[in-house]
Every structure is written in C-alpha cells, then in structure tokens.
Amino acid sequence: MTTNFIDSEITDFKVNAYHDGDFTEVTKQDTLGKWGVYFFYPADFSFVCPTELGDLADHYADFQNINAEIYSVSEDSEFVHKAWAEATDTIAKVKYPMLADPAGKLARFFNVLDEDAGLAFRATFIVDPEGKIQSYTINNMGIGRNAEEILRTLEAAQFVAEHGDRVCPANWHPGEDTIAPSLDLVGKI
C-alpha cells in the first residue's frame, strides 16, 4: 500500500459520469494535458457534501481559467448524481464532471475508501497535466473543505512546476513574493 502519493502517477481508469446534464465516460487519457482536481466526497443526498460541491461550483470558472478541471468523485452512480442535480438547487449549478465510482476502484487506488461504510473520505488530489499527484489532503467524513484554499494550492503547484527554482511560502497567492532557496536564507526566515 502506498503511503505517499506525491509524484505518483494516477491509475488508468474508465468511469461513467454525470456532466452538465448528460451522461458521459471519463478516462485517465481524457484528464491528461491539463491540471486535475480529484475531489472525493462520501455521498450524494447528504449534508456537508452539497456545501462543498456548491463551493467548488461557485469557483469553477477560476479553476477553468488556469487550465484545470474538477472531477468530483463518490461511490454513487451517475444516475444518482443526475437525480441529486435535479432535486437540489445547490447541485444543479455544478458544471464539472461528477464521476461515478460505485465499485470503489478510484477510491481504492487513492486509498480513501472506508471499506466498512462503502464511502470515500473527503480527499482532494491535485494532479499535474502528466497525471502525477502534486498535492493531496484527506479529511474525515465530517470535515468540510474550502474551494479557495484548493485553488490557492493548485496555483502554488502550478507556479512551482513552472519555476522549479522558486518556492511558495505560507498563504502565497499569485503575484506575491516567492522564495529562491539558498544557503544565505537558512535561519533568516
């Protein structure tokens, strides 16, 4: 079992999805060439999950503007995703692909499946255009996430990928100062 996913390549996959009013299929190959945010959550028709998916929907254009796609993932089928979008105004505004993982293949690969409950933990994986994981967080079921922090982390990952000789300090946002690591800075920050 992998305990550290950084720079690990995501598995080859093919899943069904509900995407902006239609059923579709999403494969690993479809996700390459742009940054991806794999956003695992426990279940449709639940409590914290719609607040998170709605928050991401409110910031979706910001992700698209920096060449990133969001893939929400739960163990529900694409049919349940559709029913949820039709029943709930918050989910109706979701325009990113909602991946169906009822067999738990993606959740098992990312090691976020609670086998006893049959639900995914709240996990966020930021994947670069080559399919390699650059950042991830995993929360327990009751701990919601923040779309702005996911976006900020993605922007930092993109900056570091482009400027490997510079790093991003805490709370960094695009346009702010970065750090060029050197022996001269040791003990001075």
Both structure tokens of 10: 């995501």
Q: Residue 185 has what DSSP assignment?
A: G
Q: For residue 93, report the phi and psi dihedrals to the nearest 5 degrees.
A: -85, -5
Annotated active-site residue in 49, 68, 91, 120: 49
- Helical spans, DSSP H, in the chain: 28-31, 48-58, 60-64, 78-87, 89-92, 105-109, 147-162
Active-site residue 168, yes or no?
A: no
- For the chain, the C-alpha Rg in angstroms (whole number) is 17
Using DSSP's 3-state secondary structure scheme, residue 136 falls into strand
Gap between the Cα atoms of 129 and 180, Å rounded: 24
* Positions marked catalytic: 49
